[in-house]
Amino acid sequence: MALPQLSAEVRAAALDKAMAVRRERGEILGSLKSGAISLPDVLEREDTVVGKTSVRRLLEALPGIGKVRAEKLMAEVGISDSRRVQGLGPRQRERLLELLASQG
């Protein structure tokens, strides 16, 4: 199946929308890293910006958590490496928050 040909205006609008989403996601992750917002606050959001963020990237944005620790946390909870936030189940969210609270 071939991709549809997009007009210049439609393509430009899509690029602008994607850039705005990336900017908002960067602001959220930056706020998480600086401690301005907490992980439970981020996980409560129901928008697609947070929902389409990978769990690994979200965990690595937390202060004191790097790639290795994020991988261990995800393995302990049983979260796939490619899982997005919107794909987390309620028990996975609870368990993740419990582990972070007990370690931090």
What token pair was written down for 83?
Answer: 């899982």
Note down pLDDT in tens along the chain; length 104 residues: 787 888 999 999 999 999 999 999 999 999 999 999 999 999 998 899 999 999 999 999 999 999 999 999 999 999 999 999 999 999 999 999 999 988 76
Per-residue pLDDT, 46: 87
Per-residue pLDDT, 104: 60
Distance CA 25, CA 50 (A): 7
Enter the pTM of the model: 0.84
